[in-house]
Each structure stands twice: as structure tokens, then as C-alpha cells.
Structure 1
């Protein structure tokens, strides 16, 4: 079967499509024939060697690449009861030590990293869901906010930020969204009550809308301290990137969200998407052989939604 791998770090040109053995299933595992694989910022970091440089992964001869996938179950291992061959599934590869990632024709995952795709949702759409929606959801969990409280979301027009806005609204939170001026209509459609244009002085702008500051912030755009100034004393702040957590000024509680696969919650999020309550945004699709081209396009920025590779 074909898979994209990384043998040396660098630009998009280092992505190699190789013939590799079909992986076998172990106890509690499922082999999926991949129909769609999402392209995410962490994939760019993997390709460029950023994860190894940060000490998040060991240097290997071959690095797999890709986290998000959707497809059809080919085989189930011993002890798997929730899935059967032929099931349409979506899943997340959250380990950094594997020789194969989601950019492959077939992938083996633990069963608890998978969820069924609801009717009406295509594999391409589903492949944009796992990493970004789970990151947003787990970030909101860390904030520990209650219904009626307020939350700032930076990068609200992006994949993680967009899901953070929608999921916050579903939790009954009041959302202050930060995005480019051209994206105001988008983030308001996602459910944001307030809008602040990117580049504004966040502390002053947010506090003019929410006196005293918001109760929490999801910093999807990696703004850092500037976003923390918009949070009230004793509030909470979650960064989505390692090393982007500011000092806990004014007694704020700051943390990183470290994404983990969660098939049970992914099933709930997929259900929300199937009901039209979460937006599945696809920027474009490309064949697996054009993974390098996908990375080039991703690095140019300006996408609204995710690029998806088709093995």
C-alpha cells in the first residue's frame, strides 16, 4: 500500500510517497481503509522537524505523518466489539512515535480512538473534525467555565477557533471572537456574541464589551500575554501551542491543552456535525500523491477550512 513518510526534515519536498506493508491489527485495534486525511499545522511541524526539536518526539529513520482520517473498517482485532468491517469511521492518530500516520491507504488505530460517521456526512467532511474539534473541546474543558460566563476565542475563523466558538455557544457561554475584519460575518454565524478585529489592543477592546474582562480565553491564534490581558483576575487561559502559555498574572490559571484521542467524545462531536450544529469546513481536496502540494498551499495561509488528502 502507499503512504507518505518523512525521512529527512525540511520543506514540502521532503514528503515521500512509498510502498509499505499493510499494518496488522493487535488486541483492541482496528484497521481502517483511509478515504480522506486532513492536513493540519502539526503535520507541517512534523515534516519540518519541529516536534523533534521541541523534545515531543524522538528522531527516527522514518516518521509517519497525519493525524485526522476517515474511512471504512477493513479488519478488527481481538476484543473489539464496537466496530465491524464495512463501518464508516472517523479517527485520530495522536501518537508521535509511529512510522505511519493518517497519510496512508490503510491505518491501524486503537478502537477507542474511532467513532462512527453519522449519515449525511462524507468522509472528506469527517476528516476535518477530529484534531480540531477535540482540541477546542478539551481546551474548553480546561477553562472550567459555567453557563452564562464569557470566553475569548482568538483565531476564531480558523479550524480550532471556529470549533471553540461553536462548542462554547453550545455550552451556554458568551463568546468574544477575535479574527480578521473580513471574517466578522463568519464568526458571528458560528455564534459569537461579540467581535474584536485582529490587531486591536485586546485588553481594552474586550473590556469595553465585557466590563472587568472575560472569564476565560482559548488562545487558538497564539496571541499570548495580549490575550491574557483581556481575562479578569482569577480567570482561566488555555493555549493550544506548547511554549505559548503566558505567566499567570493577576491570579489567572493558565495551561496548555495536550490533545488526546477520545472516541466516545468524538462520536458526540460527529453527531453534532451530522445535525448541522458543528461546521465541517473543507477548503479543497488533493490526491495523496500531492501531499507536498497540499503543504505548500497550507503554508501560504488564507484557507478557511482544511485541505484533505484522498489516498
Structure 2
């Protein structure tokens, strides 16, 4: 079968199409015939070697290529022993959350642990469903770390992006008052997603947010990786969640509790997201689709700097 792997880190051209043996599910696993695979920044960070340089993975080599791709939508076509919740023919979504996995979701098929897979939303197609797992779970798990009560105030940076958009909707669903920051052109979009207040990119974030919420917000989800600028919006003793590690996680000034959301696959949480999509309360967004064979072009577009409102999705 076809799969994209990386044997040596580099630019988009480091993605290599290969014929590999079709994987077989082991105990507690399912094999998913891939219908769509979303393209995410973590895929580019894996391919470039940035995650290996940060000590988060061993890295690729000619002896052991690394698979690329986390998000998947497709159909179960084989199950391992002990799997009863899903059966062949089930339409599913799932998340491959191992950085050093030899096979990712940029492939014709992928094997996942059953606790990383759930039935797909009924109301959207596979292309849209493939954009839900990684970004939706990141937003959900970030909000769980914040643990704000209904009526609390929350800043979401990068609110028009994939993670930020989900964070806005899920926060509004929990009864939080959302302050969103994004490009001025995206104000209508993020307000439609549930933001009550808006700060355009380019404003001094701390001053602008505090003018709207005196004393500062109760918490922040920093999807745009603004770090200290976003921390400045949070009240003393509030809570801050970054969506990656490294320099984007600021020091816990003014008694603020600072967390980083390290995403994990979770079938039960995926089922929560699926139910919200089917209820019309969570919005998936697709920027464009490309054939799986054009994975290199997808990474060129991802890193071009051109704004993407939604995810690029590869279709085998």
C-alpha cells in the first residue's frame, strides 16, 4: 500500500511516498482504511526534524522511517482480538498520537488502538470529519485544564484558526464569556463561533483585553503562541494554557497557573466532539482537499504563510 514517511528531516520534499506492507491490527487495535487525513502543523514539525531537535522523538533514519499524519477519517476493515466496540464496516475518526510511529495517517490504511477511535459524525463527510480529532481534542483538553466555571472569562488567541475556532465554540458551549483575538477581517467569523468580545490583532493585547474585562480574564487558551503577551491578559491567580511546549510556555507570573496541553488520543472525548458536531454545535472547516499523492504540495501550502481558514485534507 502507499504511505508517506520521512527518512531524513528537511523541507516538504523530505516526504517520501513508499510502498509498504499493509499493517495488521494486534490485540486491542483496529485497522482503518483511510478516506481522509488532515494536514497539521505537527506533521511539518515532525518532517522538519524540529520535534527530534526538541528531544520529543528519536527522529527518522534510513533504517526506521517515521510515519507522518495524526488525523484520520475512514472505515474499519479489520479488528484485533478483544475489540468489541467497533466492527468492520464502521465509519470512524481517530488519532495517531505517537510521534515516532513508523506509519502515520498519510497512507491507504493505518492501525490504531481502539481507544483512539470512535464512530464518525453522521452529519458531515469524511473530509470534514478528518479535521476534528487533533484540533478538537486539543481545544477540549485545554479547556479541561483551565476548568473555569460557567460565566468565567476566557481569552482565546488565534481564534480564527483550527484549534482556536474549536476552543471558542467549546468554551461558549460551557457558558464561558469568550474574548477572541484574530485578524480584524475575522471578527464576524469568531463572533459567529461564539465570541462575545473581540480584540483585533495588532492591538496591545494586555491593555485591550483589560479595557474589556477589568482586572483581566480568568483564563487564556494561547492557540496563537503569543506567550507573554497573552499571559498579560490574565488576572492574578488565573490560569493559562499554551498549546505547545518550548518558548511559547511563559513563566507563571503573578500567581498564574501555567499549563501546556500535551494532546492525547481519547475515544470518549472524540465521541463528545462527534455528538456536538451532529447536534450542530461544533463547526468543522476545510481549507482545501488534495490527493494523497500531493502531500508534498500540501506541506508547501501549509508553510507558505498564506492564511488557511480550516485544514488542508489529503484524500487517498
Alignment of 1:174 with 2:177, yes or no, is: yes
Q: TM-score, normalised by structure 2?
A: 0.97
**Deviation of 1:161 (Å):** 0.3
Counterparts of residues 180-195 of structure 1 (less than 5 Å)? 180-195=183-198
CA distance in 2, matches of 1:280, 1:121: 9
> Which residue in 1 is equivalent to 2:106?
103
Which residue of 295, 300, 307 corresponds with 1:302? 307
Tell me the residue number matched to 1:282: 286
Structure 1, residues 9-42: CA drift from partner, whole Å, max 9, x if none?
Answer: 1111111111000001111000000000000000
Moved over 4 A (4+): none
Does 1:134 pair with 2:137?
yes
2:93 match: 90
**Match of residue 45 from structure 2:** 45
> Match of 2:261?
257
User: What is the aligned partner in structure 1 of residue 240 from structure 2?
Assistant: 237
Distance in 2 (CA, whole Å) between partners of 1:275 and 1:140 is 20
Coordinate RMSD, CA, aligned: 0.7
Return the alpha-carbon distance in structure 1 between the equivalents of residues 59 and 151 of structure 2.
Answer: 46
The yes-or-no answer on 1:267 pairing with 2:265 is no
d(CA) in 2 for partners of 1:149, 1:165: 13
TM superposition shift of 1:96: 1.1
SS in 1 for 2:307: coil
Alignment of 1:156-175 (within 5 A): 156-175=159-178
CA distance in 1, matches of 2:139, 2:69: 18
Tell me the SS of whatever aligns to 2:155.
Answer: strand
C-alpha deviation, 1:273, in angstroms = 1.0
Structure 2 distance, partners of 1:214, 1:59, is: 39
SS of 1:215 mapped into structure 2: strand
Give 1:288 deviation, angstroms: 0.6
The offset of 1:118, in angstroms, is 2.5
Matches within 5 A, 1:46-61: 46-61=46-61
Q: How far off is 1:270 after superposition?
A: 1.1
- How far apart are 1:60 and its partner, in Å? 3.1
* Alpha carbons 2:123, 2:277 under 8 Å: kept: no
Give unpaired runs (5+ residues) of structure 2.
Answer: none
User: Partner of 1:124: helix, strand, or coil?
Assistant: helix
User: What SS is found at the alignment partner of 1:33?
Assistant: strand
Work out the CA distance in 1 between the residues paired with 2:182 and 2:109: 37
Deviation at 1:144, TM superposition (A): 1.4
**How many pairs does the alignment contain?**
311
Following the alignment from structure 2 to structure 1, what is the Cα–Cα distance between the partners of residues 47 and 59? Answer: 12
Runs of at least 5 residues in structure 1 that lack an aligned partner in the other structure: none
Q: Given the alignment of the two structures, is residue 203 of structure 1 paired with residue 195 of structure 2, yes or no?
A: no
The normalised TM-score by structure 1 is: 0.99
Aligned 1:210-221 pairs, distance under 5 A: 210-221=213-224
Q: Contact (CA 8 Å) 2:9, 2:60: kept in 1 or not? A: no
Match of 2:26 in 1: 26
